[in-house]
A and B are shown apart, each in its own frame.
Chain A
């Protein structure tokens, strides 16, 4: 083994101390420079999105492309919403309805299930939990053919129902809630029980109000996932009226008729709601990931 970690350095070794310190300082400076460079690299795509969204079409396709556009065209935003070929307002509405309904529905269903699994003693609770967890192992995308078959036989293609209902049962969300409720202080529930509250009212009046962080974390993750999801809305939202923002953008990216600056401003507009949610709830996401036990 090449590892002399166990070897003790003599207590008196001032000889190399100063060179070590200099090396450490240089290393730290190098790391900061590297981090700043990487951060800029990570931000460039966002910059390009906004830059091209506010540039003129000629400016985007010019052979003499420049990093800063010659002039900013704020009118692109109004042009986007006036453009009859881009049903952007409708797509934004659809995406908002889907994301909000999916988030609320998932929070309700998954938190109830997670609470039941964690806190209501039942002989087969572990079996039920395994059956739920098992669906996490099956990548959801593999079931898209049969799910499409099911939804189309229900007559739900191109309906909001078809876009929302099948996505409401997230084993991942249920798993996080179960883990969280397992660690929920039992004294609070016991006090509620002594006060004569049943399971139902204990849940609504004691458990939910005291679990806001985990609801915020799961809610944010589910909202972002619902807003960004693409394959399912592509398969189910076949009519223009049922297009989500992602499907609309994708359709226009591959079409020839669309004007580029409209497309870019549409994409920029599409991420604004998400960036707001994301920046506002970011620390909850981090907490949610850490608490999910995903890396235990």
Chain B
């Protein structure tokens, strides 16, 4: 996600460690410290990835050691599958809503909180507090309390004061009000976290830049924001956008908890992960097909991430 200061080899230390411990000893000690972690990562990340690629070429129903090699058939049927392509469309619509709204709200919160002289810690805590809440709990509040469409629910109660008819927020697709519910849950949970990232970025801007701008007659407000603050926040903005897109790709919890019912998951608004969950681990246990979908999804994410990184110049420290 970000570029680490690599290759800072800490000069001046090599002679002493070489004297006390030979090269072999250093290698040994390196692996004593790093080995357990690296081994776990290989076992629980690299092996599953490789296994997934392997499985995706097999007809693997309910088995992890299949012997029916079918080549690219899983990929072909995945790409021909309307449910899978619809899930990609759902993701695209979702990120088109969630990425800009979270970006703008968290930046606005950071700008407002940053300028406070008093009670800054209080407001920061209040906006950050939802980050401690789980999607499951938040989805419950949204589904059963705020946007309950039947007889009760805060949204319908408040709208009722203005004479607006009851809305079935989550159970109808026309109009697709469920998007409002899905986007606001994530906005509430995540805006505070990204606000913290922006605050960290704002605090790194040198005050002398603002002083210089004031001397030059820049009006506080829009001019300073546009010509000083936003350019200085460029690196943070790139990181936030990347994180927002990657996290949107992984959307699962709120969709699953808001839309699934005891009778199953409704046909609308399945993002890729929800779709894969039902394909691979649902009744059919079609692990081969699910793996093909996972590999396709990983490839799409890689292309989007790399494209975005190229476009913005990832981790542009020189800014």
Contact = CB atoms under 8 A, between A and B. Distances in A.
A, B bound:
yes
Nearest to A23: B221
A200 B29 CA distance: 9
A32 B117 CA distance: 11
Contacts of A153: 64-65
B256 A48 contact: no
A278 B140 contact: no
A32 to B, nearest CB: 8
A146 B132 contact: no
Contact of A146 (B5, B37, B55, B112): B55
Interface in B115-131: 115-116, 123-131
Interface stretch (B13-21, B83-91, B92-100, B173-181): B13-21
B136 A139 contact: no
A36 to B, nearest CB: 9
A228 B137 CA distance: 9
B2 interface: yes
Interface stretch (A2-10, A68-76, A79-87, A208-216): A2-10
B21 to A, nearest CB: 8
Contacts of A175: 4
B133 interface: yes
A196 to B, nearest CB: 9
B92 to A, nearest CB: 16
Interface string A107-146: 0011011011101111101101101110111111111111
Nearest to B18: A121
B262 A256 contact: yes
Contacts of B246: 139
Interface residues of A, number: 117
Interface string B273-296: 100110011000001001101100
B260 interface: yes
B40 interface: yes
17 contacts: A3-B223, A45-B130, A49-B137, A63-B151, A121-B30, A145-B293, A146-B52, A171-B41, A179-B5, A182-B5, A230-B253, A234-B256, A246-B136, A267-B140, A271-B134, A286-B124, A290-B200
Interface of B: 1-10, 13-14, 16-17, 20-21, 26-27, 29-34, 36-38, 40-41, 43-49, 51-52, 55, 64-65, 109, 112-113, 115-116, 123-146, 151-154, 157, 188, 192, 196-197, 199-201, 203, 213, 215-221, 223, 226-227, 235-236, 239-240, 246, 249-250, 252-253, 256-257, 260-262, 273, 276-277, 280-281, 287, 290-291, 293-294, 297-298, 301-302, 305, 315, 317
